[in-house]
Amino acid sequence: MVQVVFLFDTEDYTSPVSDDAILRLAELLRGEGIRGSFNIVGELARVLEERGREDIVAALRHHEVNYHTYRHSWHPTIAEYSDDPVWERPLARYLAEESEGSAIVRRVFGVDALPAYVPPGNNISAQSLHGAAKLGIPVVAGSLFKETGGKAIWYCNTLNLECNEYLDDLLLRDGIGEAVGRFPMWRAWERLVFCCHPNLIPYAQFWDAVNMKGGNRVPWGEWKYADRRPEADVERFYDDLRTLIRRLQAESDFTFATCRDIWEQENGAAERSLDRGALMVLLGGLEERFGFGVSGSDSYSLADLFQAAVRALNGDAGPYRAGAPIGPIQEPEGIASPLAIEARQLRLAAARLVDAEIVPHRIPLGESDGGPGPAIGPGDFLRAAVQVLAGADSARIAPGPQLPDTSGFYRFDDFRLAGTWIYSDDFKDEWVTRRLRWQSWTIRGA
């Protein structure tokens, strides 16, 4: 059974015309018995209240309300201010600003929690993804993972879902015939996540492309509007959307869900614990494949295994209870030649890491034979830990990978944010893309 999710990036706070598209979508879906997931920008929630659009607020009470950042594309965007060598500054800014924005959404729509966070475009950073988890938002939809076939992926302590079809293109551009032709492909997927931008129904161009592409092109509040679509095209979209929903309902292969449904299905709130025997099995498997491991019904990221190994080296005999670790925030630096590490050295290094939330990129070992000791990378640490935990007086390790094998999920090699979306022309992307790659230490399967 393929789960079908309808996500609506509800973001245009510049035009009341876009407001009417939100209302019409909410009413259309409800009329067809579907709960959509509406991802609301904080500033839009504020102006809907200011404009007296209680009709929209009431209509969305039937649907799931999620979060789509405070001001969406207004510069500096999340990725732009995250391009900072200091990890803590962007994280603190994200938590401060998005706490305020998400509180506005919760208050205006009368909800206690927001199940999902949907970044605008590819406007993401490692700090923002970890920050969403810290804000209590457990699902990230529209993440950087592509061509997953609808599989969920744990990354940066959130459950990541791919938006794998865009109604903006599929219906507004191609029409219902193209959508029907994709049914055989969709039946092979685990999940079909439709994304749609309500503002693109009445307008032929994104609202933020007109006002914010490459920088803040207008003063705040002095908004420009894109060209309107012909009314016939608008009506055809709504007709096609209704037809698409009914065709999906008529098929036995499809069922409908929200982001909260998927979180509950994946048992997202469940506690994961790993005993010493299972830890040793997973650490031993890293020689064959340096990546996340599975024990029973639970998966464990490399960052989980690192924290579990640190605790075991510090004499903690109980099961490791998985927390919310952060992967390296600088480039991991491994050894360049084979190295012997005394068990005493490794345990002393682990003692210094027992309270660390962040996986270190470089781990000093302290003195060796009376002189300064070497430093190893986090991957080296795991390869040494399995030997010491098995009882060896010293561990012998060779140079090996410091970043996990992500080929089954996403190839980070060509991923880069600068020059894409509507980022400022001076956005250099010196840190953001690399830190997202280093956070592959937090990847695990759902």
Model pLDDT, residue 265: 94
Q: What is the pLDDT of residues 340-349, one digit of tens each?
A: 999 999 999 9
* pLDDT, mean over the chain: 95
Quick one: pLDDT band at residue 415, thresholds 50, 70, 90? confident
- Enter the DSSP assignment of 190: S
Residues 66-91: pLDDT tens digits? 999 999 999 999 999 999 999 999 99
The predicted-structure confidence for 197-227, as pLDDT tens digits, reads as follows 999 999 999 999 999 999 999 999 999 999 9
Note the pLDDT tens digit of each residue in 242-264.
999 999 999 999 999 999 999 99
**Please, are residues 361 and 333 in contact by the beta-carbon 8 Å criterion?**
yes
**Domain residue ranges of the chain, discontinuous segments joined by +:** 2-265, 273-397
pLDDT of residue 144: 83
Instruction: Please state which CATH number belongs to domain 2-265.
Output: 3.20.20.370
Q: Is the pLDDT of residue 359 over 90?
A: yes
The beta strands (E) that lie in 83-179 are given as 116-117, 139-141, 153-155, 158-161, 165-166
pLDDT digits (tens, 9 = 90+) for 166-175: 999 999 999 9
Q: Is the pLDDT assigned to residue 408 strictly greater than 90?
A: no
Taking the model in full, what pTM does it have?
0.95
pLDDT of residue 292: 95
Q: Identify the band that residue 368 occupies on the pLDDT scale cut at 50, 70 and 90.
A: low
pLDDT beyond 80 at 31: yes
Q: How far apart are the first and last CA of the chain?
A: 17
